[in-house]
Amino acid sequence: MRCQVAIIGAGPSGLMLGQLLQKQGIDTVILERQTPEYVLGRIRAGVLEDQAVELLREAGIGPRMDEEGLVHSGIELSFAGRRERIDLSGPTGRSVLVYGQTEVTRDLMDARAASGAVSIYEADQVQLHDVTTDKPYVTYVKDGQGHRLDCDYIAGCDGFHGVSRQTIPTTILRNYERVYPFGWLGLLSDTPPVSDELIYAHHERGFSLCSLRSMTRSRYYLQVPLTEQVEDWSDQRFWDELKRRLPEEVAAELVTGESLEKSIAPLRSFVAEPMQYGNLFLVGDAAHIVPPTGAKGLNLAASDVYTLYKIMHQVYADKRTDLIEKYSQICLRRIWKAERFSWWMTTLLHKFDDNGFDNKIQMAELDYYTSTEYGRATIAENYVGLPYDPVE
């Protein structure tokens, strides 16, 4: 089998890239290690920057997203007995859209199936070969049989633990990482959200977040030590702790219920450089991870997809192979700014080891950024997403 671009991974970044390229007449095949049901079962973020929304519309999945997505023009920061709303739209003229990543993935899967493009699930033992030549190829095992996929380029959209980044020699690849000393315990429930905007709460017991997927489905998070086990957190224990960390008037309005899903996710900041090696391109979590505090995970993947999509279009339409070497440089400029914002939000809002000086600085930061026009505008500008860098 042969295609122009082989895509490793059928998460939202791989599916989005595949749809955009197919619409430009560029033939793609997607290889995914898991089943479609497993991919759809992964609970992830749901805040989309408007640029990501536009890219998804271009990929052909706008209708349901536009009908069911919730436009948010602000967020709330809670700390030291204060509640401060950050207006996103006023300083930027833009907003974000709350639409679950599971729904994005489902829509992209449906669109790809309708297009007739090839997606191969349960592809085992995927290996990338000759990526520095003009004839790269991928081998994999499906139903016990070995297969080979020849291609011009390979897009590694297979996440942090995937094979794509591991294909780049350690003598070339450099990793930058910070692992945080806590995780997020998340609970999903079919309960009306306590607020129609996200609430980020700093508290002496730890950070909490009130989020939502729809007006009938809520997602809540608690900062917990990495030693915690999800089995030790009953629904009642979760709700009781969440109420302790929220402002009293918010806690009084909280509607509790049976959890649909609970899990603990560790937090890390991670960037791999370079993101391009020969004719292999790393996309999304294969190249970078951000703590979810800044709502940048899927959005950063979308900006990678945008850059690679624009480059591939010009490669095939105009023979602009000179752009290939610019992929990593273009992506990393935006990635490091988003990494900075996600690290800053995490540092600002979470409880770290008790340190009097650091705690005072944390409070001063929160006070400054919520008390000045420029501070609020800085948060808004970064939260709605910095502009995509042009491909040129």
List active site positions: 72, 200, 292, 296, 383
Q: Give the separation between CA 346 and CA 353, rounded to whole angstroms.
A: 14
Question: Do the Cβ atoms of 391 and 326 come closer than 8 Å?
Answer: yes
Q: 166 by DSSP, 3-state: which? A: helix
The radius of gyration computed from the CA coordinates of the chain, to the nearest angstrom, equals: 21
CA angle 226, 354, 251 (to 5 degrees): 70
CA distances from 237 to 222, 230, 257, 268 (A): 11, 11, 12, 26
For residue 75, the cross-strand partners are 86
Q: Which helix (H) or strand (E) holds 201?
A: strand 199-201
Kindly write down the DSSP assignment for every residue of 208-260, as one continuous string: EEEEESSSS-EEEEEEEETT--GGG--HHHHHHHHHHHS-HHHHHHPPP--EE
